[in-house]
Amino acid sequence: MERYFDGNLEKLFAECHVINPSKKSRTRQMNTRSSAQDMPCQICYLNYSNSYFTGLECGHKFCMQCWSEYLTTKIMEEGMGQTISCPAHGCDILVDDNTVMRLITDSKVKLKYQHLITNSFVECNRLLKWCPAPDCHHVVKVQYPDAKPVRCKCGRQFCFNCGENWHDPVKCKWLKKWIKKCDDDSETSNWIAANTKQRLLRSGTGCVFFIDLECCVMVKAETPIVLKCTVKSRAEIVRFRLLLSVSFCAFPANGHVTIEKDGGCNHMVCRNQNCKAEFCWVCLGPWEPHGSAWYNCNRYNEDDAKAARDAQERSRAALQRYLFYCNRYMNHMQSLRFEHKLYAQVKQKMEEMQQHNMSWIEVQFLKKAVDVLCQCRATLMYTYVFAFYLKKNNQSIIFENNQADLENATEVLSGYLERDISQDSLQDIKQKVQDKYRYCESRRRVLLQHVHEGYEKDLWEYIED
């Protein structure tokens, strides 16, 4: 509105891709012809009467058939809604909604167009957000945009800012980085650097293998695989995908191409036309010094070996740290899925307890306990994302103590709810469940209050990943 009264109307309407209303009457006069006169369409070049042509305020007119096919293609194949422009070459004037609905005759195309413009309206409005639940077509509206939990009519609760499940106490920024870290191949490369020798071998069937230094086994790389390592009585389950960029040729010009040794000679030549580097298979160094006075392939270089060991240890430590938080994050996620199944079991227990002379009101504590349990699981799941990016300080120690207390109480409550209920233990179980879920509620509230207090007072320090 302010720009409209600033005076530069031509620039404003040009940026909006519409015709200035004050020029519309002149445009109509310039393009008026006798309705009896035939004229060729500039798209199909067939002659039609002037009454069969239509156009926009820009003055470009085309036959009805060409308009219909043009709009249908834009809507059905290109998925365009409010951004459909005039079909004339070089004209960027947008087609209005009334014109589209008037020229389109197919009901499916009309329905698709209405969906597109509705979706465009929601995405352009900061106060509206589509519900991310599958097969849900509801829109949630808020008074002001913020990272806060909202609940759709379908029952789905999500963060209005990022669209993910509500993830208190971690902020949207860090959750987005965490999800990307879990989804992309960054941890695959860390696993390879920490656990494999930097060389790829190829079998006679064409399968690529990595040499696992820790397990001393041949690990076949596929997409995806689960690798279980049992060295030194510890089990680690590592999921990774094969990175096509993992290479043996260490020269940057080769574009990270895998090199296969198919003979006994250690003089390797990269077959990449952009590289053609010559190097030694044993030491991975340039081939030029080999056979000269500078030959040192047989000499152990302590500095190079120490640098390689340090790099490998750093990769191993980073991977172990990531796995520590990832395993606990995934464990609570899996437990949360099981807790949702617990509702059906609790419903059956509530019916059994009513048979033991308890009223419907008296058995509602079980449903309340499951609600609290699910809330605690979700909170604990996201605390590990928060802790992964958190630097160690006094406040982080307090946070970890609150986290440990809530986690311990949550596991005890989960055990109570999964226990069989008999007539003798009915009152005892009821009292224990009520006490424990109230304690869990209290500890969850304390943990979240401490984290939000840290946000307000800027107490948290983060590890930039």
The beta-strand segments (E) located in 308-370 are none
Whole-angstrom CA distances from 56 to 19, 51, 395 are: 9, 14, 64
Distance of CA 223 to the CA centre of its chain: 19
In 3D space, the residue among 197, 184, 191 whose CA is nearest the CA of residue 238 turns out to be 191
> Residue type for 253, please?
A
Query: Residue 161 phi/psi, 5° resolution?
Result: -75, -50
Q: Which two tokens stand for residue 122?
A: 């929601």
Contacts with 109 (C-beta within 8 Å, 6 or more apart), sequence order = 71, 72, 75, 76
Q: Which two tokens stand for residue 284?
A: 């991975």
Distance of CA 326 to the CA centre of its chain: 16
In 3D space, the residue among 426, 439, 418, 329 whose CA is nearest the CA of residue 378 turns out to be 329
313-352 burial, b if ≥16 CB within 10 A, otherwise e? eebbebbeebbebbebbeebeebbeebeebeeebeebbeb
Question: Do the strands 225-229 and 149-151 form a parallel or antiparallel pair, or are they unpaired?
Answer: unpaired
CA atoms of 409 and 114, how far apart (whole Å):
51
Whole-angstrom CA distances from 81 to 122, 223, 238, 308, 405 are: 13, 38, 45, 56, 53
270 flagged as catalytic: no
CA atoms of 384 and 321, how far apart (whole Å):
11
> Residue type for 171, please?
K
Element spanning 39, H or E: strand 38-40
In 3D space, the residue among 460, 410, 334, 149 whose CA is nearest the CA of residue 402 turns out to be 410
Among 16, 124, 249, 265, the one annotated catalytic: 265
In 3D space, the residue among 314, 280, 315 whose CA is nearest the CA of residue 299 turns out to be 280
129-155 burial, b if ≥16 CB within 10 A, otherwise e? bbbeeeeeeebbeeeeeeeeebebeee
> Which residues belong to the active site?
265
